[in-house]
Structures are given as structure tokens and as C-alpha cells.
Structure 1
């Protein structure tokens, strides 16, 4: 299983635009083949710090997800939305 964590640090004035782009992505990703989990959380301590946790069945499922137009759109806008650089971490868990 592939586990991806993405930490987003969003500018306050871009919060609503970020959410408008990411929430449809969350809904769509959950329907993708190989998606085991796709959840977005916001820190209770730091407003506008969001953490995405994704669990995928395989690298092939991740590769297919990376072609999702909603994901491509979001990452094209992240430089405009971000207060600081998005942090990505990918790990693998043996089943």
C-alpha cells in the first residue's frame, strides 16, 4: 500500500478558492480504482494548514490518480494559494 501525506499551508485570502478546488478532488479521488483512503484535515492549532492523507492500493493507482484533471488543476494553482511550499511525503506499507 502506498501512503501519501501532503501538507498545505494556505494564505488566508486564498482559503475559499483552495477549498473550492480541493473538495471536488477529494470526492472524485475516493471513487478512483485503487483508492483506499483520501481525507483532508485542517489543523486545530494553525488555521489554513491542511493535511491530506491518501492510501492507495498500488503505485499504478497513484500514477493514474496523478493524471486526474482536478489534481492537475489544483497543483497548477498551489503557488498562488500557498503561504509556503507544500510538503509531500510518500511511504509504503507492507500488507
Structure 2
């Protein structure tokens, strides 16, 4: 199992547009084989900050996710240009 967290800091005032794009991703990703959890969270303190929590069966499932046409269109082409900063971290759960 692999967990990915992504912290997005939007360019000022872009939070609503980023949220709209990320909401489009939710039903698409939830249908992916190997996706266990896909949670998008928006900061209560900063409307331009997001935390994504993603859990996949294995690294191959995560790699497949990153190759989907909708990931490329929504995340790479739409969301990332609206970000000031994007930090991604991979984790392996400690417990089985």
C-alpha cells in the first residue's frame, strides 16, 4: 500500500477555481482500480490552501492514476498553473 499527500498553495484568489477542478476529479479517481481513498481538503484558515490524501493498493496503481487522461487534463493542465506551490510526499503505512 502507498499513501500520497499533496499540499497545494494556490495563487491568491484561485482557491474556488482549484476546488471546482478538484471536485471534477473525485468521481473519476474513485472509480480507478487500486484507489482506496481520495480525499480533498480545503484549509479553514486559508481558502487558497488544499491538502490531498490519496491511498492506493500499490505504486503501480498510483502510477496508473498519474497516466490517466483526466489527471493530465485536470491536474497538470488546469490546476498546476493556478498554484504557487505544490508539495507531494509518499508514505508507506506502518500497520498492516
Q: Shorter-chain TM-score: which interval?
A: 0.7 to 0.9
Partner of 2:76: 75
TM-score (norm 1): 0.86
Q: Which residue of 2 aligns with 1:16?
A: 16
Q: What residue in structure 1 maps to residue 38 of structure 2? A: 38
- TM-score (normalised: structure 2): 0.85
- Runs of 4 or more, structure 1, over 3 Å off, are none
CA deviation map 1:32-87 (0-9, x unaligned)? 011110000011112210110000001111111111122112223344201x2201
Corresponding residue for residue 27 of structure 2: 27
CA root-mean-square deviation: 1.6
Question: C-alpha displacement at 1:22, in angstroms?
Answer: 1.4
Tell me how many residue pairs correspond in the alignment.
94
Which residues of structure 2 form unaligned runs of 5+?
none
Structure 1 unmatched runs, 5+: none
Cα displacement string for residues 1-47 of structure 1 (whole angstroms, at most 9, x for unaligned residues): 10000011112433333223211112110110111100000111122
